[in-house]
Amino acid sequence: MFWFNPMYFVFIAPAILLMVWAQYRVKSSYGRAMQIPAPLSGAAAARYILDQAGLHDIQVEPTQGFLADHYDPGDRTVHLSAEVYHSRSMAAVGIAAHEVGHAIQHAHGYIPLVVRNLAVPAAQFGPMLFMVLIILGFIFQAFQLIVLGLVAYAGLVVFQLVNLPVEFDASNRAKRVLSELNIVDANGAIAVRDVLNAAGWTYVAATLQSLLTLLYYVMIFTGGSRNRD
């Protein structure tokens, strides 16, 4: 199928290079910050920040997977990977505070988070629906189905774009509250900043990749339609 042309990888190369660089930064900054001790474990820091924010009903629980930390608005629980949950390090408290930042966003009705949560189905099913519609469009020679496929993929792009301010805001909240509650000192704040900023670049890279992918397919299919005309 021609839409798997190797030129696709050339087209999205900037996003791939950015992601490789971002992942390297995450691993290196995380490794350094894990060596800097913190007064609390990730779990204790998360619990303390939540309690100070009056969010006593939100639970903090360990989860499986490396850096699988996330906040689930469905069960109102901050899930921390085992290393972050138990570790008394700047990396752990920084990541834990970031996830608590999402919980605070949820509690305060932060609009970009609301929009992102509404866009989750588009991000989950959009790429799969895109492929189905594209294949059907070629089988039945129906350009309208191809257009619908592009719209379906655009749902992922919208999710990624909305996700950026959500993630950056959660990191900013984390940096601020860790300093305000004296969980980190000046040197610790630098380590936390490096970890969260590096993680932020992975979201930028993912957004750029989805956007370039959409532009690539739009060029391929709309160009093909003009050639047929």
Three-point CA angle 3, 162, 174, nearest 5°? 130
DSSP 63: E
In a 10 Å sphere around its CB, with 0-12 CB exposed, 13-18 middle and 19+ buried, how is residue 100 labelled?
buried
Identity at 220, one-letter amino acid code = I
Residue 61 is a catalytic residue: no
Q: Shortest CA distance to 87 belongs to which of 52, 39, 51?
A: 39
Pairing mode, if any, of strands 77-81 and 59-63? parallel
Identity at 73, one-letter amino acid code = P
Which of 61, 83, 99, 180 is flagged as catalytic? 99
Please say whether the beta carbons of 77 and 61 come within 8 A. yes
Give the C-alpha separation, 209 to 100, whole Å. 27
Where do runs of H (alpha helix) occur along the chain? 7-11, 13-34, 42-52, 82-86, 90-107, 111-139, 143-180, 186-228
Q: At what angle do helices 42-52 and 143-180 cross, to 10 degrees?
A: 90
Tell me which residues are annotated as active site.
Answer: 99
